[in-house]
Structure formats: structure tokens, C-alpha cells
A and B are shown apart, each in its own frame.
Chain A
């Protein structure tokens, strides 16, 4: 067959399945030598750096119907994994309901990379910088697993991305609008922040990324507090102990010290040649405390107007 003219590992052959089931069948057939691909930006970087071997086969997902586009219905948003990062950050429904996600994506790569890279690839990598924002928005992942569709909380999947048995294909990222939580909930307004720390101001791989989200009442009490951290090759995680510190509490200097201590105790970053885990843990704790101070301060300022 024509496919075999290139030596494996030099220039992979490309298969283009027409539906999710076929994609899974191909992956099953090729095993580790077949790699799902869409934008391919992360894969190319891995091949060039030597952190991953070029596979014999690319299974190109871009012709599969239903994986592109963003659907909004009944207070939720389902983002297709083939949505390009540039498209995602410009989508009004994302920018208004999930501004942290839009901000996180805006910080990934440069415009040209975001024109190729997809949100599905960022999620499936398990280390993408969109993940902390998706974690605080409590995203759910929709999977095609051979014959059926499965839904997993992003947080559960990230706890052990390799755990699931068998071949699966990411088919959607579901977000529930924070606006939709308002009826019946406590009064106040939604506040949140996303920060990325890298070795340069812009277009840099992350050392630390953090996202925080909560509802700030007029008296300064926080509810629905969510925090997450990631960055570099660390798999992002929710910071449950830190969340507990601020839940139902006000942002006082004492509370911020305890939040910071909780982050230091529970966040598990990965070291590399440029930045050790200890530095990243401290940076995550400081960024989170600084953002809560800013958000609570902005709230008080707003009340005074």
C-alpha cells in the first residue's frame, strides 16, 4: 500500500476516520503506534524536542462531524474538541459566561499557534494551560468509548488520566454557566481570576497557572469557592483544602495566610531544569492569595461607589 513508502518514525502515515467509532477502531488496530491528532502543534513540539517519538500513524480527527463548534443550550455550553483556541477565545458565549477560560486560552502560545491548536488537544494532553480554568468552572468531559458515550468530571479524569480502560475519544467539553447558578443561590456577584506565570511576559510555556472563582456577597463573604493550580508538566488539580478555608469566610489577612498555607500543603507541581517544585508551590500560593486580596478589594471599592 502507498502508506508504506516512508520509514516509520520519519513521516507518519495519516488516516482520517469519518466518525468517532471509526477513530476508536483505528486506534485499537494501531495501538501505541497510532496517535489521535487535530491541530498537531503539541505533537510536533514533542517530536522536535525528543520528548515523544514520532508515531507510525496519525489518526486525524478533523473530518469527524460533531466535534467542531460550540453549542449553547439550557444554561450550558458544549465545546467541540476541534474548536481552535483562536475561535474559542473570540466566542461571545465563552467570553461572557466563562471569562476565565477565555483569558486562559488567550495566554496559550501566540496567535499563529492558536490558529492551529485545538481545545481538545489542550485538554487531552492533561497538562494544558486551559485546564485550571476549566477545573474551577467544573467542566465535564464527554467521551466516545467504542459503542457509547460517557461523561466524566474533568477533575476525576485528571486525577488519573491513564486509568480508563480501552480506547476513548474526547467528543465534548461541557460547562455549566455560572449565571445559571444564580437563581436560589446566595446573593452576590461572581468573581474570578486566572494567572499564568512563565519565564517571559508573553508566549511562554507556563511555570505556574492558577484559577480562582467564587461568589462574593455584599458583606464580603465568599461562597462557592473554587481554586485550581497547574503549569509546566504538572497535571492541574483542584485545591480542595484551600477552598475550605475561604468557603463562607471573608478575605482577611489571617484567612489569606491560611489559604496560602493550604496551597503549599496540597499543591503538587513538577520540577524541571528551570524551576523547582518548591518555587512553583510558593508562586502558586502567592498568586492565589494575591488574587483573592485583589478580588475582595475590588468588591469593597465597588460597594463604596
Chain B
């Protein structure tokens, strides 16, 4: 019934999915619908991406897909094939480097328990890449998919404002 001469299965023979992870090419052998969250944490041992709600609400698993924030718990492996994935481990672009947002979170105390922090930083970095000098309203909108149960968000907002200022200083 299915026309098998017209090749459609995403995964036949070798179930290998290639994509760029934190600037490096990777090839992962796993079922196509495996969650990116599980691929990152369990298959590639990058545990900076956190597991929270697992339904795209809390933002603890935020990663960048071609530079845009997505929830790794909602994203399946086959959906990232050939694309660029950036996790918290790669956000600064170097092993010991700190992204401006990471520096700002440290300086402003933008965290308490720290569990939401990787996701917050990924979302904030994506915002600042697109809008280097965001309004408070834009910061709140950009972080609306990231929940923090400790801070009350005050320190996080300060940190993102500070990161924007760091960016301006760097540019100036």
C-alpha cells in the first residue's frame, strides 16, 4: 500500500542523525523521535540542559536551534538534523569563556538554587543577539517561557539589563 520506491522513512538502515552541536559536527545514533533533551543529557552527557516539566512550560531545557530558543523536551532528534544546536555548554563559544549574560548573572546574583539558570541564560542570550538593547517589556516577554521558583525574577531582570549594558560597553 505504501509506495516504498519513493523513499520516505527518515531512518532506514543507519539511524544516524548529523547536526552541529556547540559549533562541532556530531552524529548521533538513536531513534528519530527521541527527545533532544535525552540525546543531549544521556547520549552526549551534556547535563547543563536541565529536565523540568517536560511539557515545554518551565524552560529549564532551553537550547538554541539555529540561534532561536526552543524547548529540548519538545524537540525530537530528527527535527535537528542538519541544523545548529547550541546548549548552555556552548553559549559562550569557548571552554573557559563566559558569555556576557553569564557574567551578568554572576555579578547581579541572578539565581538562587540555579536549576532554571541555564535555561534563563540561553533565552536571554537569544534575546540579546536579536535585540541588544531590549526594553523591560521585551525582556519579560523573552523570558516568559522560563520559570524560576526562587528569585521572584528581580535578580534575573537586573542580570539581563546588566548583560545588555555589558554588550554596549563591549561595542563602545
Which residues from chain A sit less than 8 Å from chain B, CB to CB? 1-3, 5-6, 11-18, 22, 25-26, 28-29, 40-41, 44-45, 48-49, 58, 60, 62, 86, 109-113, 115-116, 202-203
Given the known interface contacts A2-B15, A44-B73, A60-B10, the answer about A49 and B55 at a Cβ–Cβ threshold of 8 Å is: yes
**Is B78 part of the binding interface, using a Cβ–Cβ cutoff of 8 Å?**
yes
- CB–CB A111/B11 < 8 A: no
The segment out of B30-38, B86-94, B162-170 that lies at the interface is B30-38
| Given A25-B1, A26-B2, A29-B2, A48 and B55 contact (CB-CB distance below 8 Å) | yes
Task: Please measure, in the bound complex, the distance between the C-alpha atom of A45 and the C-alpha atom of B34, giving whole angstroms.
Answer: 15
**A-B pairs with beta carbons under 8 A, tally:** 112
Q: Which residue of A lies closest to B119 (CB)?
A: A112
Q: A111, B69: Cβ atoms under 8 Å?
A: yes
- Chain A residues with CB under 8 A of B18: none
- B102 touches A (CB below 8 Å): no
- Number of interface residues, chain B, beta carbon within 8 A: 39
Quick check: is B65 within 8 A (CB to CB) of the other chain?
yes
User: Interface readout for B1-34 with A: 1 if CB under 8 Å, 0 if not?
Assistant: 1110010111111110000000000000001111
Most buried by A among B76, B123, B141: B76
Q: Could you list some 9 contacts between A and B, CB below 8 A?
A: A2-B11, A12-B33, A13-B11, A15-B8, A44-B73, A49-B55, A111-B123, A111-B141, A113-B74
Tell me the complex Cα distance, A6–B33, Å.
Answer: 10
Known: A44-B55, A116-B74. A1 touches B12 (CB 8 A): yes
Question: Given contacts A11-B31, A11-B33, A109-B56, are A115 and B69 in contact (CB under 8 A)?
Answer: yes
**Complex contact A2–B13 (CB within 8 A):** yes
Question: B6 and A22: CB pair below 8 A?
Answer: yes
Please give the residue numbers on chain B whose beta carbons come within 8 Å of chain A beta carbons, in ascending order: 1-3, 6, 8-15, 31-34, 54-57, 59, 62, 65, 68-71, 73-76, 78-79, 123, 141-142, 144-146
Q: With the chains together, A225 CA to B79 CA distance in Å?
A: 42
A112/B8 in contact, CB under 8 A: no
By a CB distance below 8 angstroms, the chain B residues around A1 are 9, 12
Nearest A-chain residue to B31, judged by Cβ: A11
- Kindly list 17 other residue pairs between chains A and B, CB separation below 8 angstroms, not including A2-B9, A110-B59: A2-B13, A2-B15, A11-B34, A12-B33, A13-B11, A13-B33, A14-B33, A16-B9, A26-B2, A40-B79, A45-B56, A48-B55, A109-B56, A111-B142, A112-B70, A115-B68, A203-B57
